[in-house]
Structure 1
Amino acid sequence: MARDILDIDAVLQPGTEEEQARQEQRVRASFFDTARRALRYVPFMEDVIAAYYCAIDPKTPSASRGVLLAALAYFVLPFDIIPDFLFGIGFTDDIAVMWAAFRAVRGNIKPEHYVKARETLGEM
C-alpha cells in the first residue's frame, strides 16, 4: 500500500507558521475541486470535509490545525506519490494520510464541523 512508500509522519509535520499559512492558502484555493473529484473514491469524505472546516477554524488548537493543514495540503496536490488522476487508485495515498491525520486530531473535529461537512456534501 501507499503507506509503505510514503512517510506519513513526515507529511503530517505541522511546520512553521509561514508553512502553515502557505498550506492554508493552497488548501483554501483547491480543496473543494479536489473534494468533488474524490467523492467517488474516498469512502469517508464527510470526515475529510469536516477536517477542512476544523483546519480553518481559528478555535482549533494550532498543533491540530498544523497537522490537518499538512494532510489537506497533501490531499489537494494533483501529483503526489500516486497521482490523483489514476482513477481507482489515485487517492490511495491521500486516504492513508487523511486517516492518520484524523487519528491524530480526532478530538478537535467538533460536531459543528460535521454539520458544515454534511451541508457541503448536500450541495455537492
Structure 2
Amino acid sequence: MSEGFASRFTHEEMDAIRKSLRDEERFGSDFMRLLKKVAKRVPFAEDGVAAFLCARDPATPRRVRYTLLAALGYFVLPIDAIPDILPVLGFTDDAAVIAAAIAAVAGSITPEHRERAKAILAGL
C-alpha cells in the first residue's frame, strides 16, 4: 500500500473499514439499505452501485476489489469528514472518495457492471 493512499484515512477509519469488510454479506445489505434511503439525493448513485458490483465480481482483481470496497465502506460507515445529514455538502466527501477510487480502477468497471447498476437503481 502506498503512503499517499494510507494517509487519506485515519487509523480508526481504516479499522472500521476492515471490520465491516470482513462480513461482505452485511456490508452489501448495509450498502443497499443506505442507497435506497439516499439514491434520489446522491448524484453518484450509479457509479457507487457499479463499483459495488465490480467489487463483488469474482473476476475483479483483489487490489481493485479492496480499493472499491474501502471507498464504498467510507460511504456506508457513519465515520465521515462531512456529516451526510447536511444538505448538498453532506455527500461531497463520499463522492470525492468514490470518484478517486473509480478513477484509480476505471478499466475494471465494465459496461455490464454499469448496465446492472442502472437496472438496480431503476428498481428502487
- TM superposition score normalised by structure 1: 0.78
For residues 38-75 of structure 1, give each alpha carbon's deviation from its aligned partner in whole angstroms, at most 9, with x where no partner exists.
32333231111100000111110000000001001111
CA distance in 2, matches of 1:93, 1:23: 24
- Sequence identity percentage: 46
| CA–CA distance in structure 1, aligned partners of residues 69 and 33 of structure 2 | 16
Which residue does 2:85 correspond to in 1? 85
CA RMSD of aligned residues (A): 2.3
Amino acid in structure 2 at the alignment position of 1:65: R
- Deviating beyond 3 angstroms after TM superposition, the runs of 4 or more aligned structure 1 residues are 23-26
Structure 2-normalised TM-score? 0.78
Structural mapping, 1:1-124, within 5 Å: 9-10=5-6, 11=8, 19=18, 21-22=21-22, 24-124=24-124
More divergent stretch after superposition (47-56 vs 21-30): 21-30
Checking the alignment, whether the CA contact within 8 Å between 2:21 and 2:27 is kept in structure 1 is no
Unaligned stretches of 5+ residues in structure 2: none
Amino acid at match of 2:122: G
1:23 Cα offset (Å): 6.5
- Deviation digits for residues 1-36 of structure 1, max 9, x if unmatched? xxxxxxx83358xx8xxx384273453131112212
| Structure 1 unmatched runs, 5+ | 1-7
